[in-house]
Amino acid sequence: MSTGSKKVIIKFQDGRIWFNSSTSIEIHASNLPVDNCTLTSRPFYWEIMPKNFDKTNGTLEVIINSFEPEVSSDWIGTTPKYKITSISFLNLNWEDFSLFLSSYNKEAKLGMPSSSSRLHSSQFHEITLTQKVRLADLRFERGYVSFTKLFRWASDEQTIKVHNQHIIPQLKLLLPYLIKLLKKKTINVQLKIGRENGKTTYINASSSDIDKINQESLQVIKVFQLDHARKKLHDIDIKNIFNPPPHIIDDILLGNIDSFEKELLFSILTKEEVRNKYQLNLLSTLLSDQQKLFLTIDPQFGFVFRIEGAEMSHYIWELVNSHATYIWSFPKDLPPDNQLRRIEEEFAVLSQHGRNYYKGYFENSDALFLNIVNHTTTHNPMLDQFNRWRMRVEGLLV
């Protein structure tokens, strides 16, 4: 492996960095803060460009060109020309690195590598730009948002990705909620752009605005949809589906709760034509600025909106593609924590037995009411079925 403009792909697996199938170094022989974090157990690949190599001590300095390189199933790698004993990543930031971690502590971020002064040669320079982007112009994918930008030195537009593990495609449907969360319609994106010999070598994008979309603003209702997980949990009574016992998750996927919920959420979401766009947008405007948005995975993907009425507290479950809206209503004198626990129990029944069973199973009481508002579809342009649905729902939010 020689330094220069050649890009190579390295592999991370089993606590080692692999240059090919037989040549590797320990992950501790890098400048990554691995004493304060744990990398995901799944193998992953980075595309790098060697910048400097010290033959005396075998230290290789590289910049990262891509965190998502195209890798074939028969990855071969590259054979280094000289023995490499350590590797330093020069342009790595926390936002990108954290996507490959299953756990970390607060010291990990402080131990991130800083750029080497060797980067700042007459041939290389780093540009820092701030780009303002409208939320409506962002593309929402699994684990990142993206937008395109044409730089003055380039002939083609480039796709810029801002990573965040909590981003999912369906959040695009809830722009009113995101605008309320961020308190603005645009975000600021900081771009660090490496340029060498007139060419762009890397673009690192980050945004403190996108960072606000996190576990504090989104809460996943954690229930199990994978078939092999269901078999292992068949005889186990899990009532608290927001916080399932960690040892259960360890038994299933040999990982911790953070990596499990991320893998589960991102692996089962599929791109579908959205039926309930208008319903979701309306409900997101009714959600208070301080209220979390809940996501459901099972029995179907959807959103739960907690909305305070004058007399009652309401939990409204709206699916991305379904014909009904479920509204659970609690008396206001019941503490929010107790409401949440009861909703968890209701979803546990829904998940196990399905919605048809649940409709017959549920009985209204003074402590909890259920109303189901069905959607009516029609091709008659004279009938405004959405407004009929809206008036019915708003009439129940007492």
Buried b / exposed e over 53-80, threshold 16 CB at 10 Å, is beeeebbbbbbbbebebeeeeeeebbeb
pLDDT at 253: 30
Q: Decide which of 196 and 317 is more confident.
A: 317
> How confident is residue 262, by pLDDT bands cut at 50, 70 and 90?
very low
Grade residue 41 by pLDDT with cuts at 50, 70 and 90: confident
Residues above pLDDT 70, as percent of the chain:
79
Task: Give kind and range of the element (H or E) at residue 107.
Answer: helix 106-110
Looking at residue 146, its pLDDT comes to: 95
> What pLDDT was estimated at residue 148?
94
pLDDT at 3: 52
pLDDT reported for residue 111: 80
Q: Is the pLDDT of residue 231 over 60?
A: no
Q: What is the pLDDT of residues 321-357, one digit of tens each?
A: 777 899 999 998 888 888 888 888 888 788 777 778 8
What is the rounded end-to-end Cα distance, in angstroms, of the chain? 69
Banded pLDDT at 273 (limits 50, 70, 90): low
Phi, psi of 332 (to 5 degrees): -70, -20
pLDDT band at 319 (very low <50, low <70, confident <90, very high): confident
**Predicted confidence (pLDDT) at residue 381 exceeds the cutoff of 80:** no
> What integer pLDDT is reported at residue 268 of this predicted model?
42
Please name which of 119, 118, 91, 92 lies closest in space to residue 37, comparing C-alpha atoms. 92
**Which of the two residues, 377 and 128, has the higher pLDDT score?**
128
Mean pLDDT of 152-170: 87
Where does the pLDDT of residue 186 fall: very low under 50, low under 70, confident under 90, or very high at 90 and above?
very high
pLDDT digits (tens, 9 = 90+) for 91-143: 888 888 888 988 888 888 888 876 544 444 456 677 888 999 999 999 998 88
Summarize pLDDT for 13-38 with one digit per residue, the tens.
999 999 998 999 999 889 999 888 98
Question: At residue 187, does pLDDT exceed 90?
Answer: yes
Residues 144, 103: Cα–Cα separation, whole Å:
19
Q: Look up residue 169 and give its DSSP letter.
A: G
Instruction: Say how far apart CA 323 and CA 100 lie, in whole Å.
Output: 38
Which tens digits make up the pLDDT trace of 190-220?
998 888 777 787 888 989 999 999 888 887 6
pLDDT band at residue 155 under the 50/70/90 scheme: confident
- Summarize the confidence of residues 148-172 as an average pLDDT: 87
Give the 3-state secondary structure of 199-254: EEEEEEEECHHHHCCCCCCEEEECCCCCHHHHHHCCCCCCCCCCCCCHHHHHHHHC
| pLDDT value, residue 230 | 42
Residue 224: its pLDDT value, please? 39
pLDDT at 185: 94
Res. 261 pLDDT band, cuts 50 70 90: very low
Band (258; pLDDT cuts 50, 70, 90):
very low
The per-residue pLDDT of the chain, averaged, comes to 79
CB atoms under 10 Å from CB of 28, counted, come to: 12
